[in-house]
Amino acid sequence: MPDTALDEPVRRFLEILGPGSVITDPVRLRTYECDGLTHHRTSPGVVVLPETAEQVAAIVRVCARHGVPFVARGAGTGLSGGALPRTDGVLVVTSRMRRILSIDLPNRLAVVEPGVTNLAITEAVREQGYYYAPDPSSQQVCSIGGNVAENSGGAHCLKYGFTVNHVLALEIVTPDGDLVELSHTDPGYDLLGAFVGSEGTLGITTKVTVRLTRAPQAVTTLLAAFDDVESGGRAVSAIIGGGILPAAIEMMDALAIEAAEAAVACSYPEGAGAVLIVELDGPSPEVAHQFAEVRRICEENGAFELRVAADPAERAAVWKGRKSAFAAVGRISPAYIVQDGVVPRTALPEVLADIERISGEHGIRVANVFHAGDGNLHPLVLFDDDEPGAAERAELVSGRILDLCVEHGGSITGEHGVGIDKSRYMTKMFSEDDLATMQLVRCAFDPEGLSNPGKVFPTPRLCGEAPGVRRGAHPLVESGQAEQF
């Protein structure tokens, strides 16, 4: 049932955008009921499709005036439910904000609208020898606005860093509906850095200035097959310990390889208990030298087969299995959970052994795919949703893996974000005071809590009124549903 509290805002949206850009038809609304985390579903109250920053600002001002929550959505590929809409709220979709506004090679930057896909930026400058460095596996579809919200990484962030290291300025609409520029040239608090990764809870990005990176002179990709994950892990430690910073080091275990083989026939070496993909890039003489080193290290640590990809086609073949891994497990399991956690790299062997033990204890298979260079695990927890209790056990195993990450001094998410999925784990990683301090930032940007409420933080909190002006207790506080802050 449409929420009547939305009637007036919807009328205003129609005035601002016209009927072609406001969706209230329940059937069409269902397109937007979830993001990449598909087991959380809610139909939005209304969907708006603005084409300009001014329209976004006008929409947000209407929301602010009527106290209506709003959620931004890019391509909807997020894996933590960050773009999960609200029935009582507005979903602001950026899919019609897809213009590349300018490309400035002398200053190595591009200015783009938030709905532009990650890959589109690289495609626009590739011929001139540049690219946009952060490369999430979803880069063909995910939006730069979503990348900014999630501070997305990619296989190559080991060397090149994350979205936050490549964004030079943002234009945002604050939760009061003001258009503000946050720039790396501003003195004072690094609000730009704080906004990146805030998962849509501090406002809506309407313009992004990204740094463009010069393409490397040489790229070499190596696939190494090992008997087991332990020897692969030792090779990773030796490479990093040897002072080499590859562009990427990825690992897959036997189960993940089996899945990839079934899905895309990537023909990885037969009998491998683990494969390592190491990509080196940079100046040719440096890459040549490091390649020899990496090769030697892999052999010393028991690699029984090495394949070298020298051209883009061969490289694509090596990456094929890795890039398809998430979807591929669908071939070997009816259902699965994609987990995302981080451990210090030195803790990898112990944590992997623990995962194996937990998996055995609960009779739930776990396939491991991970960014080994920076300890970012993506365990794929496999289960049969037809089997009674299996989903619960898988959920348990998945949660235990996050516990392991926290126990080893790591993180509950390396790149997929907290969203709705992991807000309850935040208290495992952060103290009450840590979270309360983060909440100060939230309250500074969004005192009414209208921008993507219910995401990232575990308990809904309210921002205290300005000192001196005390009104009655908020109804949510009185009913015990929220804490005054």
Ligand X SMILES: Cc1cc2nc3c(=O)[nH]c(=O)nc-3n(C[C@H](O)[C@H](O)[C@H](O)COP(=O)(O)OP(=O)(O)OC[C@H]3O[C@@H](n4cnc5c(N)ncnc54)[C@H](O)[C@@H]3O)c2cc1C
Question: How far out from the chain centre does Cα 471 lie?
Answer: 40
Nearest to 228 by CA among 274, 270, 268, 271: 274
**What residue 9 binds from another protein, ligand X, none (CB within 5 to 8 A, per partner kind)?**
none
Q: In whole angstroms, how close is the CB of 245 to another protein at the nearest point?
A: 6
Select from 246-254, 351-359, 391-399, 405-413 the region that touches another protein (CB under 8 A). Answer: 405-413
Select from 145-153, 303-311, 386-394, 471-479 the region that touches another protein (CB under 8 A). Answer: 145-153
Residue 477 makes contact with another protein by CB under 8 A:
no
What are the CB-based long-range contacts (under 8 Å, 24+) for 308-316? 308/220, 308/221, 308/222, 308/223, 309/220, 309/221, 309/222, 309/223, 310/220, 314/221, 315/219, 315/221, 315/279
Nearest CB to another protein, comparing residues 243 and 480: 243
Residue ranges in 295-354 that form contacts with ligand X under rule CB under 6 A: 326
Nearest to 176 by CA among 58, 24, 86: 58
**What residue 276 binds from ligand X, another protein, none (CB within 5 to 8 A, per partner kind)?**
none
Residue ranges in 368-397 that form contacts with ligand X under rule CB under 6 A: none
Nearest to 379 by CA among 388, 395, 387: 395
CA angle at 232 for the pair 228 and 238, rounded to the nearest 5°? 150
62, 79, 158, 196: which one binds ligand X (CB under 6 A): 79
Nearest CB to ligand X, comparing residues 72 and 239: 72
Residue ranges in 346-365 that form contacts with another protein under rule CB under 8 A: 346
Q: In whole angstroms, how close is the CB of 413 to another protein at the nearest point?
A: 5
Nearest CB to another protein, comparing residues 254 and 443: 443
Alpha-carbon torsion 343, 347, 350, 352, what sign? Answer: positive
Nearest CB to another protein, comparing residues 5 and 353: 353
Residue ranges in 117-156 that form contacts with ligand X under rule CB under 6 A: 136-138, 142-143, 145-147, 149-150, 152-154
Nearest CB to another protein, comparing residues 6 and 196: 196
Residue 417 makes contact with another protein by CB under 8 A:
yes
Question: How far out from the chain centre does Cα 47 lie?
Answer: 23
Question: How far out from the chain centre does Cα 300 lie?
Answer: 35
Select from 91-99, 114-122, 137-145, 158-166 the region that touches another protein (CB under 8 A). Answer: 158-166
Provide the residue type at 282 as one letter: G
Residue 439 to residue 336: CA distance in whole angstroms: 33
Residues binding another protein: number (CB under 8 A): 86
Six-digit token string for 343:
């451990």
Residue 211 to residue 150: CA distance in whole angstroms: 17
Q: In whole angstroms, how close is the CB of 181 to another protein at the nearest point?
A: 5
C-alpha distances out from residue 44 to 25, 88, 206, 377, 392, Å = 10, 7, 21, 32, 28
Residue 219 makes contact with another protein by CB under 8 A:
no
Contact positions toward ligand X, by CB under 6 A?
35-36, 71-79, 82-83, 94, 114, 136-138, 142-143, 145-147, 149-150, 152-154, 199-200, 204-205, 326, 415-416, 452
